[in-house]
Amino acid sequence: MLSKKTTKMLNEQVNKELFSAYLYLDFSNYLNTIGLLGYAHWYRIQAQEERDHALLIYDYLHMNNADVVLEAIAKPDFKASKLMDVLKEGLKHEEYITASIHDIYAAAHGEKDYRTVQFLDWFVKEQGEEEANAHELIQKTETFGTDAKGLYMLDNELGARVYAPPSLVL
């Protein structure tokens, strides 16, 4: 049985993951409006991933007979004026989510809730990948995106991304 503290933190994480999906859809919307359809596609897939992360936690709570409390999802208040604003905000947000996952991990470990610790191992690894991807996107855009041809090619590369649902087994 999950503790009240861990249950509360996991429920809050469901909301954070759903907000992440909403934020990335907002990024995708902005990128579509400025004609960067590949970048828009990349963030739309990010939104799908974040939604699935929320559902994994949702399912874990149910599997452990814990109450699931769905809260309102806040409207993103980020306003971009250029591509790099979106990319840097994406990295900042991933770092925030990583810190949140680490807080839940530490709490579960402190309560000797090793089942939740094991469940969160996948999320810790995933967040490392998410931050690395965000860094790489910034780096590639800084390196190649200042040239129109380079930006065009990078946008096309990002548009080829295929969604792969998480393979975490509960």
- Cα distance between residue 110 and residue 104, in whole Å: 10
pLDDT for residue 1: 80
pLDDT for residue 157: 96
Domain ranges of the chain: 4-159
Counting Cα atoms < 13 Å in the Cβ hemisphere of 67 gives 7
pLDDT for residue 48: 97
pLDDT for residue 162: 94
pLDDT for residue 169: 61
pLDDT for residue 170: 62
C-alpha distances out from residue 63 to 30, 113, 131, 136, 167, Å: 37, 15, 29, 36, 17
DSSP code for 116: H
Record the tokens describing residue 59, joined without a space.
């399912």
As assigned by CATH, the class of the 4-159 domain is mainly alpha
Which residues of the chain are under the pLDDT cut of 70? Answer: 168-170
Cα 48–Cα 99–Cα 81 angle in degrees, nearest 5? 60
Counting Cα atoms < 13 Å in the Cβ hemisphere of 14 gives 19
- Any alpha helices (H) in 111-167, and if so which ranges? 114-144, 148-159
pLDDT for residue 81: 93
Per-residue pLDDT tens for 50-79?
Answer: 999 999 999 999 999 999 999 999 999 999
